[in-house]
Amino acid sequence: MTTVGNLFHVRYGHSLELNHLTLADRNSGIAFVSRKMGDNGVSAFVQPITDLDPASPGEVSVALGGNGVLSAFLQERPFYTGRDVAILSPKKQMDKATLLYYCMCITANRYRYNYGRQANRSLSTLQLPSLKELPKWISKADVNQFKGSDAPWMQRKVALKNFKSWKAYSLNSLFIIKKGKRLTAADMSPGTTPYIGAIDSNNGVSALIGQKPIHDAHTITVNYNGSVGEAYYQPVAFWATDDANVLYPRFKLTPSIAMFLIAVIRHETYRFNYGRKWNKKRMEESLIKLPASASGKPDWKFMEKFIKGLPYSSVLQNQ
């Protein structure tokens, strides 16, 4: 093992205040990196500051305090930093995979810190694997596998129709709704079948089990217990917990249409909670509003085109 200080030159960031800067668009602006946990730490893009050089691409930003303490990100374009953000520059040449690995290692130490114990003084002494101790799989990792994933499926954007013209449809008229089935942790065996739990992340997949799937692919799961109202498109066959309902479409469901419907279904979450669960009967009776065609039926073609014009929709082509 070695330390952050042995692997990187550690310096304090620019300590800028975003409200004193001029915002710019993503293409022409300089990334402003704060202590946030997501979006690679980038809070905004700002106009260049006279006589202040941004940090260089290939350097690592590390939050030294706040809720995102020790969130570490490899920055691939010039950037400024807000308060309590350190900048790490590798002392020896490191490729992208190695830098990303060290970001992961630094972030994994977040549990050691909180608002009362920040990393301002201790970052340099934080222990990390040395370059000789790096796992062999790092050299085989494809760090560019998600390159271009933020692109839309098609370049032409489609504006949402007038909401006042949307019509209400019962979920029962759109789907055959089936319940999931209880499976205890003691009865699970390891395998490759997605097990959909009543959770709010990871597309609902809480485990991979050895049991055979009990529900078909190209359906939508909706939690009626736990994280009530969380909905997910399931591209492969799966097992769903009894705390989730499975929506089998009465129409041709594509990944793009599913993404549109999921957003609408999640919008109904506020109506339900632990005291009023979204059980199968209530779900069948629930109404959702959707864009309608001239015939009065849901305008599936419009929903498809709208989703395909959004950023990141290109990843749906492989579903």
* Residue % of the chain over a pLDDT of 90: 69
Residue 193 shares a structural domain with residue 103: no
Residues 119-154: tens digit of each pLDDT = 888 899 999 999 999 999 988 888 787 777 777 877
Continuous H helices in 36-151? 96-107
* Residue 17's CATH number: 3.90.220.20
Question: What is the rounded CA–CA span in Å between residue 298 and residue 237?
Answer: 26
Question: What is the rounded CA–CA span in Å between residue 32 and residue 47?
Answer: 10
Residue 79 shares a structural domain with residue 171: no
Q: Are 196 and 239 in contact (CB under 8 A)?
A: yes
Residue 41 shares a structural domain with residue 169: no
Question: What is the rounded CA–CA span in Å between residue 79 and residue 57?
Answer: 8
Give pLDDT, residue 28: 87
Residue 59 shares a structural domain with residue 128: yes
pLDDT band at 247 (very low <50, low <70, confident <90, very high): very high
Q: Does residue 248 carry a pLDDT above 90?
A: yes
Assigned domain for 153 exists: no
Quote the number of domains for the chain: 2
Residue 125 shares a structural domain with residue 246: no
Residue 172 shares a structural domain with residue 311: yes
Residue 204 shares a structural domain with residue 313: yes
Supply the range of the domain harboring residue 112: 2-140
CA 272 to centroid of chain Cα atoms = 24
Assigned domain for 237 exists: yes
Give pLDDT, residue 269: 79
Residues 216-244: tens digit of each pLDDT = 999 999 998 878 889 999 999 999 999 99
